[in-house]
A and B are shown apart, each in its own frame.
Chain A
Amino acid sequence: MKNDTGNKIKLGIFITAGSVLLLVAIYFIGARQHLFNRTIMITGIFKDASGLMVGNNVRFLGINVGTIDGISIMTDSTVRVDMQIEQDIQKFIKTDSKAIISSEGLMGNKAISLTPGDSGVVIKDGDSIATIKPADMDMIMAKLNTTADNASAITTDMAVITKNIRNGKGSVGKLFSDTVFADNLDKTLVNLKYATKGFGDNMEAAKHSVLLKGAFKRMKKEERQEKKEEKREMKEEKKEEKKEEKEKEEGK
């Protein structure tokens, strides 16, 4: 009989522990779904739910603050999304906050992100919130399409240009294909080389000629003065910088 009571106590502990575990699990799962917090409801009208599901998270500044309570089609082009949000967060969400559909990670679920507003007026229970159209894949693809169109137009133009060059049309084309033109150009360059060398000699001779000596000396003087002035300016700037640094340190 004594043993029997002992067994009953053990059984009691066993059953109590099991029930407590179950209640803890229910509490934590429920807490995640905001069953035990006070919540407010806000709605957002989207043009496209983009795969959003009931039970997905609502985020504010990257923190989960609520869940999606319901999704329903309003008209043929609008979707109404009801969001359940913790009452503690209500004060941070302003009337001009916006909702945008985002996703949790690369392969994750969809979620709604609320952006902070700056109107100063706090949102009320049951209010509707403005939405931003998300950059969905279709839009990106459409944009890519126009980019590709542009690229094809550019390459067509390029093809025409290269064709012209190959056929010797235009000055660049002549350069590539006209051997006479290239020959002339080559000769011109050689002439230019000699001409510049000759010019250099002439200038050297001019420096030593009596008539122009004074003028060259003046030019050199001016250059030196300019260099000196530059050095002075540099020094002054450095001094000023040092002064400013000192002032800052003193201010601290």
Chain B
Amino acid sequence: MRLKGLTLGLAAAVAATGITAPAVQAEETQFFPFFTYRTGPYAPNGIPSANGMVDYMNYVNLKWAGVGGVKLVWEECETGYNTKKGVECYERTKGKGTTVVFPYSTGITYKLIPNAARDKISILTVGYGRTDASDGRVFPWTFTTPTTYWSQASAFIKYIGAQEGGMDKLKGKKIALIYHNSAYGKEPIRTLNLLERKFGYKLTTLAVNHPGQEQKATWLQIRRDRPDWILLWGWGVMNQVSIKEATNIGFKMDRMIGVWWSGAEQDVVPTGDAAKGYKAGTFHAAGRDFPLFKDIKKVVYDAGKGLPGGEKFIGQVLWNRGVVNSIFATEAMATAQKQYGVKRVNGDQMRWGLENLHITAERWAELGLKGFMQPIKNTCADHEGNGPVLIQQWDGKKWNIVSDFITPMREVVRPLIEKSAAAYAKKQGITPRTCS
């Protein structure tokens, strides 16, 4: 249990031996803060993501009266994708009984990681954040479920290899990475460099500064270099500009692959038909043809209880991902409830729930999402859950899955994660826990 003692020269303070969870709120609710951004250059992507998270929690309340009889309550806090505002959000909502946060920004994640253990608040970063935090021995409170940027980068190379007709054909091929010049955009570089040495392709990295409207120089260089493949690691308005520029120079769109944050309707629609053929990574299926999504429409929106103007987002890529985010949270909460026999779970219990999160294929079907995602299983050492990656393609109207589930090159990525986490542990004086 967390013990907190202060004297400040006045009084010697408290002690406790057992569990002393402060009962901040009524017994029957579980609080979740949502760090969202509905304004600023990242709003086009922020809005559907936020709606997905909120809509699913809303649905769980309306349909099942919460998780295990505990009503879910939440509060949105606008971060504008800005770290300082994110810190303010975190501190402000902390006292309301937060057990897990979803920063929805790699920058905010980096800032919050050192606080997590102190505050007993888990950090769940679904498909973003700090990749080496997948090593649960060094980062017990951080979860990168279901998969990470490094895994995705390796899956992309695997996919490109397959498209070229074999991994040996990668030799001499030119791959350009256009990335958001931030912690987020830089994540895949290390993995891509390592694989460059292994497979002999030639990698060019091109940075685009926040917020990403200005890319003329980048595309001039692309025109000069004529890469065989382009990987796009953007977010917000940067994606729209990149995709538009690619069509402007007549780049073959089916040879341009976006990270899963560069593959939403909002990114391709502004470019119109020219974006046809553009591909992007993802870790879940696209579209709204799943029983759960139909039910969310019925239970939440048809009953007039949804977010204003939110219905049009149902089934969009980022909305679906927001739902995945909330499913992980509620499933972890249910796991913790079962383990500890409690209703409202505290920070420690939520962490245990996330670490032992296991969503089987049957459970996905039960949730009304058969075939939507691969099974997820976290362990003490592996907080990534080893989710495979899919490639989806834009046909001018909607996203279609065009690949099988691609298993990342775990034999390459995992040692990299462990090495990087060990270096962090050494620098910060952390003794990694043992997972046996």
Asked if chains A and B come from one complex, the reply is no
Q: A interface vs B, CB < 8 Å? A: none
Q: B interface vs A, CB < 8 Å? A: none
